[in-house]
Structure 1
Amino acid sequence: MADQLASLADFAALLHVDVADLHAPAATLLIECATAVVQEVAEQRIVRATSTVTLEPSPGRWLWLPQLPVVSVASVTLDGTVFASGDYSVRGNRLWRSAGWQTAASWETAGTLAPSEIEVTYTHGYADGAQELQRARQAVVALAGAVYANPSGVTRAQIDDYAVAYEAMSARMEAAPYLRHGLRRYYGRSAGLITLGG
């Protein structure tokens, strides 16, 4: 099932109808499309999920994880070596390791560091019902509601085509720069949080 940042009940409330009066498959599709648009704009998978990512960090003690907020870290593997939880610590949305994120095996004969490869499995995003989801929920319901209430805004008469609905919502989002900016500011990683050095 695709991510959903709003429910059918949220959608029905926006349209002032009972959930039973919705065309549930179309409404669900539109919620999923709107969620995809909102998460793309925010540059984050806002919903709670578990991901495995492969990263190539620069030398130093800090490692940023790409999806925010970080809830927990299940495993960290550095150049094939699985770390115990005591070998690193989770600090906000970063991992810290006193020895840094390069291994002795990563030294090349020339004496320069070759990139290490780190695989991290972690849980991120906001739990269902979290207050932090309200902005995204509002954006999803507004985008989906506009297309559902006005299917002629889509380029075809039917609204059961994911690509067409997604394109229509993306166009609406492009027309609302204040909304795009707000979602990125609220859910994205702030440039002011980047730490330089080790």
Structure 2
Amino acid sequence: MADMLAAPGDLASLLERDDLDEYKATMLIECATAVVQAAADGQRIVEVVDDVAEVTAGTGQWLSLPQFPVRSVASVNYDGTVMASGPAGYRLRGSRLFRRCGWSDSPLDMIPVTVVYTHGYPEGAQELQLGRSAVLGLIRDVYDNPAGLKAESIDDWSATYSALSTQMDGTPALRKALHWQYGRRR
């Protein structure tokens, strides 16, 4: 199953409906979550336990992990050898691993490092609320308008749909807010 920043029940509450097709709602939430995560530099945002990252270490003392925030590191395999945490091995600082003696002696070495770690925000964390709000905002009009119509009328009835929701793209301001909240700002 793909990441989801909201649940079908959240969409049902927003639309004030109790007859949602759960499969359709789940698919829309997964797609909107992907849009939000893309605006956040590809960060997964939701908590992922025991994710495996393969990174290449150079001569520096710092090794950045690809996803953040990093909650914990279960293991570090340095060029085929399991490393210990602590002063003799590595230390976790933010979303990077520090090794006092550096990760390689030669600037030409590209040492493979496999890290098993937990990253992202746990379910229910306040930090997820912007992403959840964005997901629900992107799909609120899409559920009942899968064709992406801008306007529709039958006899004396008419409806106009939000262009933002039909495109599931988000405004530049929303994409900037998501990048600021969840993306890498280095």
* Cα distance in 1, alignment partners of residues 23 and 108 from structure 2: 53
Q: Is 1:73 aligned with 2:73?
A: yes
Counterpart selection for 1:89 from 91, 107, 118:
91
Partner of 1:45: 44
CA separation of 1:126 and 1:57: change in aligned 2, threshold 3 A: same
Q: In 1, Cα distance between the equivalents of 2:167 and 2:108?
A: 45
Q: State the alpha-carbon separation in 1 of the partners of residues 70 and 166 from structure 2.
A: 27
Percent identical residues: 51
Aligned to 1:194: none
The alignment's TM-score, normalised by the length of structure 1, stands at 0.79
Two-structure CA RMSD over aligned residues (Å): 1.9
> What is aligned with 1:28?
26
- State the AA in 1 paired with 2:102: G
Deviations 1:4-58 (A, max 9, x none): 110122111221223xx11111111111111112112212001100311111133
* 1:172 has 2:174 as partner: no
Name the SS of the counterpart of 1:146 in structure 2: coil
Q: Secondary structure at the match of 2:102?
A: coil
Aligned to 1:152: 147
Among residues 161, 180, 183, which one is paired with 1:185 in the alignment?
A: 180
Q: Secondary structure at the match of 2:139?
A: helix
The 8 Å contact of residues 139 and 168 in structure 2, kept in 1 or not, is answered as: no
Distance 2:179 2:16 in 1: 29
1:127 aligns with 2:122: yes
Q: Secondary structure at the match of 1:85?
A: coil
Give the number of aligned pairs. 168
Contact 1:70 1:92 in 2 (8 A): yes
Structure 1: stretches of 5+ with no match in the other structure = 155-167, 192-198
Mapped partners of 1:115, 1:47: distance in 2? 30
Is the CA contact (8 Å cut-off) linking 1:44 and 1:187 kept in structure 2? yes
- Runs of 4+ aligned residues of structure 1 deviating over 6 Å after TM superposition are none
* Aligned partner of residue 121 in structure 2, secondary structure: coil
**Deviation per CA, 1:52-83, whole angstroms, max 9, x where unpaired?**
11111332111111101000001111111110
**Unaligned residue ranges in structure 2 (runs of 5+):** 150-163
Normalized per residue, which structure has more strand? 2
TM-score by length of 2: 0.83
User: For structure 1, which segment, 118-127 or 175-184, has the greater mean C-alpha deviation from structure 2 after superposition?
Assistant: 175-184
